[in-house]
Amino acid sequence: MVNAIPDHPLKILHLEDSLADHGLAKTALRRSGMTFTLQHVDTLDAFQTLTTSEPFDIILADYHLAGFTALDAWRHVAQLPQHPPFVLLSGAIGETAAVDAMRLGIADYLSKGDMVRLPHVMARAIEVHEARRMREHAIAELAASQRHLADLTEHLQTSIERERAAIAREIHDDIGGALTAVRFDIAWIGRHTHDTAIQEHAAAAADMLQHAIGASQRIMTPMARSNSPT
């Protein structure tokens, strides 16, 4: 699991008001062969200043400190964008308190009496944190893709409706107008001839043209309705 730690020197912030315990944590990390930088703070103000101004790969924190607890520190960290994993490194705080802290989003808990496992716990916390970050990134990308697809679908639908409107106008203005003009001409021919056969053909042609005009209007009406404002 230690191999899950990034290959660059790990930047660690240790919130601890006991210099002896801070030294023990540093010794445990050195013995693991891990490459790291370890910054130490023991007040909430100093912790908030550092975490706001500098990025860290992981935060280690005692639970009970002078005048505050690790939960106060966590509440500040949780509000930061892209905050690092936060591990409790403390004495006996009780299983219930540890579970409640992890439910709030704290990555893990390790007793100071089990300091030899610190590199393992840190590696696991970093690995889980990175997996969660990648999952959130993937979800965000999926949501962005879905929004893009919705926009593209809307654009395509708009283009189709505009094309339908253009076809409807063409049918109405050009084809419908031409058919009506031809019908008038044929009707004129029928009225100005005394040949019965021509009159019958003219009447049949006029009826067919009227049918074509009606068909064009039936085609145009649904198109016009689909493009009318709601």
d(CA 57, CA 83): 9
pLDDT in tens, 135-172: 877 888 888 888 988 888 888 888 888 887 777 777 66
Give me 158's structure tokens.
């708009």
Lowest mean pLDDT among 24-28, 36-40, 204-208: 204-208
User: Looking at residue 3, what is its pLDDT?
Assistant: 47
User: Looking at residue 228, what is its pLDDT?
Assistant: 58
Residue 62: closest CA among 45, 80, 83, 44: 44
> What is the pTM assigned to this prediction?
0.61
Task: Report the b/e string of 8-45 with b at 16+ CB within 10 A.
Answer: eebbbbbbbbeeebbebbbebbeebebebeeebbbebe
Lowest mean pLDDT among 42-51, 203-212, 216-225: 216-225
Rounded to the nearest integer, the mean pLDDT of the chain is 85
pLDDT in tens, 107-135: 999 999 999 999 999 999 999 888 888 88
User: Looking at residue 6, what is its pLDDT?
Assistant: 59
